């Protein structure tokens, strides 16, 4: 009999099915020991010795695990593949050694990035030792939590009754919040105006252009400072005759972004789905731990706490197969795309967040999932598939319009783009909306009618708009 330790009971049931009768899987229910909240739990003068206390709820579970281990052939620690998971394995092993349950039995550490039968069996075939440097990173972090928090929290409780704790994270976050709030309070809004002209071609095709020059001087974003200046430009434009100056069209390509990591998943789920970070991670946890699909519990995504943007070679191959079948061969680039992180000190031990099987299409999975799970799975699938698709091909067009009256002239500019080939947009549309733009910013994402140099255009309406600069966002 082999005893396997994982973190959650949901995983324990699934993994036990994969491993069969020779294995018994127990859940630790997360951490089993912690530093007691009293003076002396960390002793800096004694080489940072730490006094651990077994959690009350965990004591009973650890006794059950110890009894099982005493009669087993080996112990396999299969907690999550991150620093906290490594620490939980270390804590469980330390407690079992103290109970003399392990003795000379072999102890193995295995990690899997996805809860699928193949991933679990593959991990079992490649055991390793507990990663001691990772455990020591956890111990340093936990000691710092304690030493900062134990000294800082009482100050917080006195000054702000009802506050829970302060420490390594909260104290720095508070500083950042205070610095930003002071910046917002110091901010002085600056008034500026934009002047836009609604124009029409001789074929009655409408488009919009913004003033960029007036009577020999360039007009930047903040250069029209008040209503009087705006009114002077509007009066001139209402009398002027319009013609097309230069038209420039540049073909460009837009490559896809890499698959999600933890932070980018939280950002996208917030902007596209309206999920809070906590809701995103709870939903991702359920997708990772697995759902019942046709009588079998299967993890639908890889581990969701990661800084790595790369995908395994077999996953890239599966994604390319799914792209060819779902979107067609033209959406498949000649060579696979490979990504690497730009962040310093990134924890790149894991893959990016991706589906465990790219042929489990979101439309087919919807009936097995609740609303939050279905929407988040679709987002993860779309981004991972898009990361391996062909570039989108776009024509960016800039047209300069000349307005002349009484020997003077003003310049206006119209910009737009036309998508010639959607590429990865077909899977993960670029959802930049007008609401996302700063006031006065050109609408590059609209479509311009065909314009020719020297062609006359008609004025429809001139619209001045007042704006104020905004302070930095909270």
Query: 259 vs 112, 337, 346, 365, CA distance in Å?
Result: 19, 11, 15, 20
> Are the CB atoms for 358 and 300 separated by under 8 Å?
no
Pair of tokens at residue 42: 């960390």
For residue 400, how many C-alpha atoms fall within 13 Å in the half-sphere facing its CB?
9
Cβ neighbours, 10 Å, residue 240: 20
What does the alpha-carbon distance between residue 167 and residue 159 come to, in Å, rounded to a whole number? 15
Tokens linked to 150: 């134990």
* 184 three-class SS: helix
Q: Under 8 Å CB-to-CB from 358, ≥6 apart: which residues? A: 315, 318, 319, 321, 322, 381, 384, 385
Q: Which of 190, 182, 221, 183 is nearest to 469 (CA)?
A: 190
Contacts 24+ apart (CB under 8 A), 215-224: 215/408, 215/409, 215/410, 221/192, 221/194, 221/440, 222/190, 222/192, 222/469, 223/192, 224/192, 224/193, 224/194, 224/195
Could you say which of 192, 288, 303, 377 is catalytic?
A: 303
Place of tokens 């075939």: 125
- CA dist 58 and 92 (Å) reads 10
Active-site annotation holds for 146: no
Helix intervals (H) in 20-127: 56-70, 83-98, 117-124
Look at residues 166, 158, 219, 163 and name the one whose alpha carbon lies nearest to residue 193: 219
Contact 353, 283 (CB under 8 A): no
How far apart (Å, rounded) are the C-alpha atoms in residues 359 and 303?
18
Maximum alpha-carbon separation in the chain: 100
- In whole angstroms, give the CA distance from residue 455 to residue 192: 31
Which residues are catalytic, by number?
303
């Amino acid at each position: 009999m082999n005893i396997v330790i994982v973190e959650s009971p949901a995983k324990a049931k699934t993994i036990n099915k994969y491993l069969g009768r020779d294995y018994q899987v127990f859940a630790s229910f997360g951490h089993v020991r912690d530093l007691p909240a009293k003076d002396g739990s960390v002793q800096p003068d004694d080489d940072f010795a730490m006094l651990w206390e077994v959690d009350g709820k965990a004591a009973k579970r650890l006794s059950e695990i110890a009894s099982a281990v005493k009669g087993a052939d080996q112990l396999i620690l299969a907690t999550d593949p991150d620093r906290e998971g490594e620490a939980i394995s270390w804590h469980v092993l330390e407690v079992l050694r103290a109970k003399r349950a392990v003795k000379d039995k072999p102890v193995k550490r295995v990690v899997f990035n996805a809860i699928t039968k193949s991933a679990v069996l593959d991990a079992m075939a490649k055991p390793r030792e507990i990663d001691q440097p990772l455990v020591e990173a956890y111990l340093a972090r936990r000691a710092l939590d304690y030493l900062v928090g134990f000294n800082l929290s009482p100050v917080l409780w006195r000054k702000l009754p009802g506050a829970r704790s302060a420490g390594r994270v909260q104290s720095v976050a508070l500083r950042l919040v205070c610095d930003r709030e002071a910046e917002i309070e110091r901010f002085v809004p600056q008034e500026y105006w934009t002047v836009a002209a609604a124009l029409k071609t001789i074929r009655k095709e409408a488009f919009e252009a913004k003033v960029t020059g007036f009577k020999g001087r360039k007009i930047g974003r903040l250069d029209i400072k008040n209503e009087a200046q705006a009114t002077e430009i509007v009066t001139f434009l209402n009398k002027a005759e319009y013609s097309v100056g230069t038209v420039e069209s540049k073909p460009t390509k837009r490559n896809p972004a890499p698959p999600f990591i933890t932070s980018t998943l939280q950002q996208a789920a917030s902007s596209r789905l309206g999920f809070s970070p906590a809701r995103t991670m709870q939903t991702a946890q359920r997708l990772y731990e697995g759902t019942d699909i046709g009588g079998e519990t299967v993890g639908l995504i890889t581990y969701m706490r990661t800084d790595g943007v790369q995908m395994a070679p077999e996953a890239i191959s599966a994604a390319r197969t799914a792209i060819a079948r779902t979107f067609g061969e033209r959406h498949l680039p000649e060579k696979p795309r490979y990504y690497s992180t730009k962040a310093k000190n990134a924890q790149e031990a894991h893959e990016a967040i991706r589906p465990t099987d790219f042929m489990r299409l979101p439309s087919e999975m919807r009936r097995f999932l609740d609303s939050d799970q279905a929407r988040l799975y679709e987002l993860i699938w779309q981004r991972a598939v898009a990361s391996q698709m062909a570039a989108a091909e776009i024509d960016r067009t800039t047209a300069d319009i000349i307005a002349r009256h009484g020997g003077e002239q003003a310049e206006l500019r119209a910009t737009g783009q036309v998508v010639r080939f959607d590429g990865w947009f077909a899977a993960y549309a670029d959802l930049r909306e007008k609401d996302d733009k700063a006031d006065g910013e050109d609408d590059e994402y609209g479509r311009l009618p065909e314009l020719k140099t020297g062609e006359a255009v008609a004025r429809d309406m001139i619209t001045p708009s007042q704006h104020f600069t905004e302070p930095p966002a909270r």
